[in-house]
Each structure stands twice: as C-alpha cells, then as structure tokens.
Amino acid sequence: MAARWPGWAVAWDRDGYEAQLDAAGGVLSFPDRPADALLADLVGMLVREPGRSPADTVLWFAEREREAGKSVELNPLALRDDRVELPRERKAEILAQVAERLGLRLPADDPVRAALEVLGVELPTPGKWMSAAYLAGAVTDLRLTGRPIPKDDRESPSSRQQALSKVLDVYAEETFVAETRDGAVRLRLDRRRTVGEDGRMVTWYRFSVLGPVTGGAG
C-alpha cells in the first residue's frame, strides 16, 4: 500500500479501534454498552471449553460438493484456526482483574449455564435437532429469558433468537449436569450446520443425554 500511495503512513493497530475513532474526528461512533453486559459477554467467552473447529464446516461443505461431482479448491487460509487456549486458572485471573477494574463483582455461579441445564431437561423432545428460533420459544415458555438473553436483545422474537444463537454457539460441545425428578443427568449441547433449501447455511442444536450422574456431579 505504501508503494501505491506515496506519502501515506500505514500502521497496524491490531484491535486498537480507538485510533480509528480519533482519526474520524467525531464522525464515527460506537455504542456504549453497560459494564455488567460486557462482563457477562467476557464470562461467556472465557468459560467455554474448546469445541470443534470452524474449519471442519469448510471441509464438510467442500466434501459435500465433491460428492456432488463438483470441482472444489480450498484456500489454505480458510482452514486456519489460530486459537489461543488458556487454562481455567488463567481465565479466572483475567475475569477477576476485569471485574475489579470495572468495579463489578463476579457472580458465584453461571446463570446462563444454569438456564441451559433447565432447558436441556425440560424440552419435550430431547435428542432432537432444533433451530435457535424453536429454542428461543422454549426459553420464553420456561420463563428463562432473563438469564441467557441480554436485556437489550429481548425486544422481538428475531432479536431473542439471534442472541440465544450466540449463547448456544459459545456453549456448544460442552457438557452440563442437570437435575431431574429421577436424579442428576449429564447432557451435552451439540451443534451442526447444514445447507438449507435456499442454499444458505442453517445451524441446528440438540441436547444429548449422556447418562445419569453417579458418584457426584464433578
């Protein structure tokens, strides 16, 4: 870029968006979110355990097209998955530091996870693949909306569906321990993507019952 635009200075600020705001001279602005909402998002990102790689979806789609007789070439960059995995202890340290800087107190438990545990055992058809729209309706019916869906995203069915989809993606492939009338069971939130009739990718979710919990819920 420097060679094509003489006199320009190119600087990579990485995620330092504040420099863009300063350069825009007030023309560009970003919405301010409450500190507790930001902390809730951070908790959701950090507590998740590593799930399957997004590159798996790319490979699956490519294989599907090859089986249909099409010629498919993949850009190697599409298969990069440069994750930065942290041990739980380090995650806890980061959360504590952020909460202290924001003047907030971390919750003793994870209300979102607790809501998903209830959702997993109360669904009328456990083990069935369901859309985020269906699950958003179930969350409303079970009066769980206040936990997995942020306040600003509860205005319409569409906003609730989109917010819940983000939460489900964060917790996908994780296991849960939920209480039922017959005792505690272990669940796993599964996620898969398929191609819809219109050619667009569709995401599905299901809660798989792995079995009863014996010898404690650890």
What is the DSSP code (8-state) at residue 77? G
Count Cα atoms within 13 angstroms, Cβ side, for 7: 0
On whether residue 92 sits in a domain, the answer given is no
> What strands lie across the sheet with 175-180, from one edge to the other?
175-180, 183-195, 201-212
CA angle 194, 164, 119 (to 5 degrees): 95
On whether residue 35 sits in a domain, the answer given is no
From 178, 166, 49, select the one nearest 119 (Cα to Cα). 178
On whether residue 216 sits in a domain, the answer given is yes
On whether residue 159 sits in a domain, the answer given is yes
Counted domains in the chain? 1
On whether residue 48 sits in a domain, the answer given is no
On whether residue 45 sits in a domain, the answer given is no
On whether residue 198 sits in a domain, the answer given is yes
**Average pLDDT, 10 consecutive residues per value, the chain (218 residues):** 75 80 83 68 64 79 90 88 73 74 65 86 85 91 84 85 88 85 87 85 91 65
- pLDDT in the model for residue 203: 92
On whether residue 157 sits in a domain, the answer given is yes
- pLDDT in the model for residue 151: 80
Residue 209 tokens read as: 């019952």
CATH number at residue 205: 1.10.10
Range of the domain at 194: 109-218
